[in-house]
Chain A
Amino acid sequence: MKNPNHHAIHITKDKCIGCVHCMSACPTRAIRISGGKARIIDQLCIDCAECLRVCPHEAVHSHTTSFAALEAFDYKVAIPSTVIYGQFGPTVVPNEILSALRRVGFDEVYDLSSICELNCAATEEYLNEHPSPRPYITSTCPVVVRIIQRRYPSLCAQILPIEPPREIAAKILRTILPKALGIPAEKIGIIHITPCPAKIVSINSPATLAKSYLDGAMSISDIFPQILKALRKSEEDALMRHLFPETLFSGIGMGWPLSGGETRGLKSHRAVAVSGIRDTMRVLDEVEGGLLQDIDLLECTVCPDGCVGGPLGVENRFLAKSRVLELVSAAGEHAVVDQKDVSRLYHRNFLSFDHPVTPVESRPLDADPGEAIRKAQRREAIFAGLPMKDCGICGAPDCRTLADDIVRGYARLEDCPFLGKEKR
């Protein structure tokens, strides 16, 4: 079932000690501490994983696809994010990594860099055909889509309606493989391998598709030890992959997981890339305020430096980025995808969203406009009486949010630890 409030991020109650790290880090103020434990408000959470990054007790975890879940399929296909190529040392080439994934248990593994290039070419074509509105916003980062649905609903129509590479790749494979292999479609499992906890959300409750073409998203950090083991066992394989590379990588697509990588291949459009959740929100605020209309395409990724800064990666993002950049320059600037093929797929709507992104119901103070106004008045009055220390001891991230919770009936003024004392 499609549930817009399905989440990848969960709190393990046993490990949570009720400190305020996650609550302070949450950009949408979706976390409260109650009964000594952190709790996520489903309606507000955008799965950005900022809480997962800061939790000192490993109490925040993400639900990604486990290896055991693959047993449900007769034929297992992996399409790893190109972030994976940056997780190993400078001597390990992408072909070795793909080959190691096959030995780990996947029947086939496909590189995504050429599909990234394809997506970029399709984006170029879409921008040529649609001179307004401006800027369009890319949809690769599922958190950006979710935050627009919830906080910037009027920008839904500015999301560029071309599916991201992972979905396009899975759709192509799902079209071709059942016939080529003689295996029923439902017995073929297509798994994305990713540093991102939010991909599983875009698979389980997609914002733009009736159903995702992917069957799961596996964390790079989960599968990393097995890949490493497979790499160590196979020096001969490594030699072979170095001498006879079998996959043609796209230099244009390879850099996709680095901030700016999605738009680097654009030939005739002005693009701006933003990364990090807070900067993304700041820029989306500006777009909603009517700014940046001279920009054609806005690439937003909520992880620092792009997907390469995803919390489920292994290598630190600076080294990973440096390695990916080496691979980008090694692969060169020439196109590996034929523009005519892209154009054909594009005009068959093969690359398009099934349906546009729609806003997710917001959370007004009250359904009745008059009552909402009265509650807002009360909220201001309450806020004016709070100490403005934003200490978090009441269980809300800051005084403003406590005032908001009080008028909504979720908290009480007595929850503030300072008010009682001052009176005494």
Chain B
Amino acid sequence: MSAADDVFRQDFPVKGGDFAKAGTAACRIKELLKDLGLDSWTVRRAAIVAYEAEMNVVMYAWEARIDLSVTPGSVRLVVDDRGPGIPDIELAMTEGYTTATAEMRELGFGAGMGLPNIRKNADDFRIESEVGRGTRLDITIRTNGRRTP
């Protein structure tokens, strides 16, 4: 069996504004990673990343696809959304910065920790965004990477 076969791929659609289903994709991803036998800290970091990314889509974007690919050494999540985009990425990466409405914050969302938290739990993190079109996150977590979330 060639090494190319050792990749598990699956994608998960996420709908913007669908708060009732928020977290479903992240849970499915977590279950999958457990079935694949990854250690619990890798699973936890991936769960946190997936949860935050999914919440960002639900709160701000119109729709997105989360592409999961897992190899024996790494978990990669690519989150490609159609949405308003982020005008100032550097500002958005600042802890505590949020554009969440008062209503969202009342629901306990949008504390402005999403993107910084994703970066904190990732071993490799890339973000591209185009205003009016959407945002793409490319996140890699290595199974032998940082030990604590």
Contact = CB atoms under 8 A, between A and B. Distances in A.
B102 interface: no
Interface stretch (B3-11, B79-87, B124-132, B134-142): B3-11
The secondary-structure label for the interface of chain B is helix
Contact of A288 (B7, B30, B35, B52): B30
A380 interface: yes
Given A359-B40, A374-B1, A380-B10, A364 B34 contact: yes
A249 B70 CA distance: 56
B102 to A, nearest CB: 17
Nearest to A366: B37
A367 B37 contact: yes
Interface string A359-383: 1001111110110111011001000
Given A289-B23, A369-B72, A370-B1, A376 B51 contact: no
10 contacts: A153-B40, A286-B51, A289-B52, A290-B48, A359-B40, A362-B40, A365-B35, A367-B37, A370-B5, A404-B35
B117 interface: yes
A288 B33 CA distance: 13
A394 to B, nearest CB: 20
- Greatest chain B CB density within 10 A among A290, A365, A366 is at A290
A290 B43 CA distance: 12
A154 B72 contact: no
Contacts of B34: 151, 362, 364
Task: Please give me the 3 A-B residue pairs with the lowest Cβ-Cβ distance, nearest first.
Answer: A364-B37, A289-B51, A369-B72
Nearest to B117: A290
A369 B36 contact: yes
A290 B50 CA distance: 10
Contacts of A359: 40
B93 interface: no
Interface string A372-400: 11101100100000000000000000000
Contacts of A153: 40
A404 B36 CA distance: 12
Contact of B30 (A285, A366, A374): A285
Interface in B1-59: 1, 5-8, 10, 23, 26-27, 30, 32, 34-38, 40-41, 43-44, 47-48, 50-52
Nearest to B5: A374
B44 A288 contact: yes
A290 B30 CA distance: 13
Given A372-B35, A374-B1, A290 B47 contact: yes
A102 B24 CA distance: 52
A369 B44 CA distance: 18
A154 B40 CA distance: 6
A241 B48 CA distance: 55
A285 B46 CA distance: 13
A285 B71 contact: no
A298 to B, nearest CB: 14
A381 to B, nearest CB: 11
Contacts, number: 78
Interface of A: 151, 153-154, 285-286, 288-291, 359, 362-367, 369-370, 372-374, 376-377, 380, 404
Nearest to A289: B51
B149 interface: yes
Contacts of A380: 10
B40 A373 contact: no
A21 B44 CA distance: 33
Nearest to A404: B35
Contacts of B47: 288-290
A416 B149 CA distance: 42
Given A290-B52, A290-B117, 16 more contacts: A285-B23, A285-B26, A285-B27, A289-B23, A289-B48, A289-B50, A290-B48, A362-B34, A364-B35, A367-B37, A373-B8, A374-B6, A376-B8, A376-B36, A377-B8, A380-B10
A112 B36 CA distance: 44
A57 B126 CA distance: 57
Contacts of A367: 37
A289 B26 contact: yes
Nearest to A359: B40
A133 to B, nearest CB: 10
B1 A373 contact: no
A154 B36 contact: no
Nearest to A408: B35
A369 B37 contact: yes
Contacts of B41: 154
Nearest to B43: A154
A353 to B, nearest CB: 19
Contact of A373 (B30, B44, B70, B149): B70
Contacts of B35: 363-365, 372, 376, 404
A29 to B, nearest CB: 11
A367 B7 CA distance: 16
A154 B70 CA distance: 20
